[in-house]
Structure 1
Amino acid sequence: MRFIPIFLLLSFFLGCEEVDSYKSGETYIKFFGTSSKEQGVDIISLSDGYLLLGNTESSLSGSSVMLVKADKKGNEEWQAVYEGDLNEDKAVGMIQLENDNIVILSNRNDTTGILSYTKPDGSDLNENEPIVLKPTTENIQVRYNSIEPLTEGGFLIVGEIKNPQNEWDMLSMKLDDNGTIIWEKVEGYKGDEGSDDLGNASAEDGAQFYYLFGSVDILKVNSSSEEVVVSDMRTVSVNRLGNIVWDKQVSTFENEYGVAIKNYNGDFYILGRRESSATDKDIIFSQLDANGNAGALIEYGGNGIDVGNDMIITPSGIFITGSSNQNSGSEDILVLKLNFQGEVIWQSTAGYEGVDFGSKILIEEDNSIVVVGTGFFGNNDKICLLKLDESGNLSKL
């Protein structure tokens, strides 16, 4: 089933470079950063505002982790840059523990991971010694892509590890609140050789199992009887000890990559990306049954790039953020609302020139939709924060 969005109906052409192209001070679209290039990565809603996680190129290393605190109206209160010496650190995500402390996951120099702990006010960001995450499994490279809190305490990290055969395998780690590794698992898909198995996200059912989500390369025979390597979305269910319960992929003849998996009332929904070419990408969405089998794959996109980077589910529907270039030659921030049957309720875009995209999305108690991402503003990329009402209209300040 394929939906072709009519972006002209519910689109917002907001010039991230030109103040005159939107009503500055009236609509809720905010930019944060330094004089260098920045990227928005994650967001946490606090009682008195928002904590934004991003990357900045203002340091000598080329990339450093950046925190920004804004009030509920999007006014910046402070910003801090994590001083990682001359290491290149790229933020992956952050969570808030029950004691209110913030845990930040980042990749360092493409060889290891870093856990940084700080208070919500960022006052001790550079005072605490970071925890270095080095897998015990033999490897030549490691990438971490996701950090998620667990109901019993601690958190789950998902990524991939490059083995000595130069192949990527899915990597998962369970850690306690102090960052101590409880277990580490490496899951190559059913032992297939020569394939890349990537880990991108995780979810839990709150009782017995964790669900690891990503993609895997599979050798297939197409309709022309030719052997081709195709990427499939992959879900791995593991128990509390990290042992596999089942391992399933969504099999098509298109290259598809897993992006996010969410648990809503015991039902699991997956968000992915279908790539026909570098300039033709679509959002794909489905629901898993109890055994990990996907229902109908629903596709959203036109002739160009439509990408989903995150989703959140509430009683009113499913909200996705990412990017689309249907309105212009460059990508704009996309916010999409679906019902539980996967039908589009509304869609909105925000952007102008340059590549703009949403990275994370959350829903506030008043049903407003908050997105953090990256917007081109002042001739450079900046951390971008925008808020929409429940109908998809940009909120007024």
Structure 2
Amino acid sequence: MTFGDVSGWSISEAIDCGYIIVGSSDSSTNDNDDIYLLKTDSDGKKEWDKIFGTNYDECGYLIQATKDRGYFIAGRMYEFLLNDAWLIKTNSSGYMEWNKMYDAFDPPWNGEFVSETTDGGFIMVGDTLPTSEKGDIVLTKTDSKGNEEWVKIFSVSGDAGGNSIKITNDGGYVILGSTDMGGHFDDILLIKTDERGNVEWTKTLGSILVDDRGISVQQTTDGGYVVVGFTGNYGNFDVYLAKTSSNGDLDWYRTFGGSENDWGYSVQECDDGGYIVLGQTKSYGSGEGDIYLIKTDSNGIMEWNQTIGGPLQDEGHKILKTSDGGYIILGYTESYGLDSGALWLIKLRTM
């Protein structure tokens, strides 16, 4: 299923087993992008959509269902020196209930930078706006209306940024970020905190003399963590998949890719204990870039891989396990739909 002239960056399953998607759309009144919210049924057919925008450029990076059956959107407003995080709460029909702007964050690599907390509030991670060459990770907790309750700033020896945050089984948080540790190459950074944002441990993952970027983190059934991203340098990247213990110690890591660039963007643990990885490949497939789907066993050993796409640019942004045991892929395609590109929704059967 494709939807033209819009892009999608985050997807969540709705209470009725349909899907709620957020991204961006070209404004009908000016040349700027607006936040785009799309609701579909279980077959991917549009039920309704909503636009949220100002006179600036905006994009929605995260959508989650809330306990009151509404939705919250984490987005961003961009315009020259203006660079604000934007949190929007809607009801079940997509109508805005409230919104808040936060100006303490740099843009994340990925939209998974807000989660709803057990008390109905929200936790956000991002980067401090650096006054020097060094940035720090900032963690902000709000109440159910988006009002700030507390802020924590985490500083490491080099430039650091927060890309993703998840609530852990013990009620704390795991932050996925990156740091150059004062050098020239980036490493993946994992920070585990308690429910008040106090650091319990900090770990780095990565190889020497290459850039390693973590895009998404998930807690696994054994209490550990699985991280997906990409690794490499000088314009040659491979998909990076790593598994850690509950204390953040590396259990194993794997790389996947060919002679050109390949990136990992999203990962889910499967019922058999293995993992399904979604990304984009320029090494394989039939076009300028294709969706790259990799299935591994519990030790990260590849069982199979598949490319999805046509002759032009196609990419996968998110993969989500659905209530029927299958998976839904949110991506982008220039091969199908409109010539200008389209949001792409793909449903997969149980694996």
Higher relative contact order (CA 8 A, sep 6+): 1
1:333 match? 291
Counterparts of residues 155-174 of structure 1 (less than 5 Å): 155-174=122-141
Please say if 1:64 is aligned against 2:44: no
For each residue in 1:353-396, what CA deviation from the matched residue of structure 2 results, as whole angstroms up to 9, or x when unmatched?
332111111122322210111111321121110011224xxxxx
Q: Match for residue 269 of structure 1?
A: 226
**Structure 1 counterpart of 2:310, from 345, 352, 364:** 352
Rounded Cα–Cα distance in structure 2 between residues aligned with 1:152 and 1:310: 27
SS in 1 for 2:68: coil
Aligned position for 1:23: none
- 1:48 deviates by 4.7
**Alpha-carbon distance in 2 for matches of 1:248, 1:155:** 24
CA–CA separation in structure 1 for the residues paired with 2:93 and 2:172: 34
Question: 2:20–2:63: 8 Å Cα contact kept in structure 1?
Answer: no
What amino acid is aligned across from residue 27 of structure 2 in structure 1? S
CA distance in 2: counterparts of 1:238 and 1:178, whole angstroms: 23
> What residue identity is the alignment partner of 1:246?
W
Q: Say whether residues 1:116 and 2:88 are aligned partners.
A: yes
8 Å CA contact retained: 2:318, 2:329: yes
Q: Which residue of 1 aligns with 2:197?
A: 242
Cα deviation for residue 212 of structure 1 reads 0.7
Tell me how far apart the structure 1 counterparts of residues 251 and 122 of structure 2 sit (CA, whole Å): 29
Which residue pairs with 1:50 in the alignment? Answer: 19
1:31–1:382 contact (8 Å) kept in structure 2:
yes
Letter paired with 1:142 = D
Deviations 1:71-125 (A, max 9, x none): 111222222211x220211111011111111010111125211111112322x24
Equivalent residue, structure 2, for 1:203: 166
Partner of 1:3: none
| Inter-partner Cα distance in structure 1 for 2:300 and 2:117 | 27
Q: 1:129 to 1:45 in 2, by over 3 A?
A: closer
Give how far 1:251 is off. Answer: 4.1
How many residues get paired? Answer: 337
Quick one: distance in 2 between partners of 1:271 and 1:97? 26
Shift in Å at residue 329 of structure 1? 4.7
* 1:294-373 paired onto structure 2 within 5 Å: 294-316=250-272, 317-325=274-282, 326-373=284-331
State which of 60, 63, 73 in structure 2 corresponds to 1:91.
Answer: 60
Partner Cα separation in structure 2 for residue 94 and residue 184 of structure 1: 22
Q: Look up the SS of the partner of 1:162 in the other structure.
A: coil
- Quote the Cα distance in structure 2 between the aligned partners of 1:273 and 1:188: 23
SS at match of 2:251: coil
Q: CA deviation at 1:208?
A: 4.8
| Percent sequence identity over aligned pairs | 22
- State the match for 1:257 in structure 2: 213
Task: Rate the CA distance shift 1:150–1:320 in 2: closer, same or farther, 3 A.
Answer: farther
TM-score where L is the length of structure 2: 0.90
Q: 2:45 aligns with which of 70, 75, 79?
A: 75
Q: CA deviation at 1:129?
A: 4.2
Distance 1:218 1:328, change over 3 A: farther
Give the TM-score of the pair, scaled to structure 1: 0.80
**For residues 247 and 214 of structure 2, what CA distance do their matches in structure 1 show?**
17
Deviations 1:263-296 (A, max 9, x none): 1221211112103232x21111111123322222
The alpha carbon displacement at 1:143 in A equals 2.2
| Residue pair 1:305, 1:331 contacting (<8 A) in 2 also | no
Q: SS at the partner of 2:320? A: strand
Change over 3 Å in CA distance of 1:365–1:48 after alignment to 2: closer
What are the superposed Cα offsets for residues 151-206 of structure 1, whole Å, 9 maximum, x if unpaired? Answer: 443232122122211432222222222212222222221xx2xx321111122332
Asked if the contact 2:295–2:305 (Cα under 8 Å) also holds between the matched residues in 1, the reply is yes
Q: 1:212 aligns to what SS in structure 2?
A: strand
1:115-134 map, 5 Å: 115-122=87-94, 124-125=95-96, 128-134=97-103
* Inter-partner Cα distance in structure 1 for 2:38 and 2:171: 36
Alpha-carbon contact 1:271-1:284 (below 8 Å) kept = yes
In structure 2, the partner of 1:179 is: 146
Give the match's secondary structure for 1:354.
Answer: coil
Distance 1:204 1:287 in 2: 17
Structure 2: how far apart are the matches of 1:340 and 1:153? 33
1:200 alignment partner, SS class: strand
Does the residue aligned with 2:304 lie in a helix, a strand or coil? Answer: strand
Q: Could you list the runs of 5+ residues in structure 1 that have no partner in the other structure?
A: 1-29, 136-140, 221-228, 392-397
Alignment partners' CA distance in 1, 2:197 and 2:303: 38
Contact 1:97 1:177 in 2 (8 A): no
Unaligned runs of 5+ in 2: none
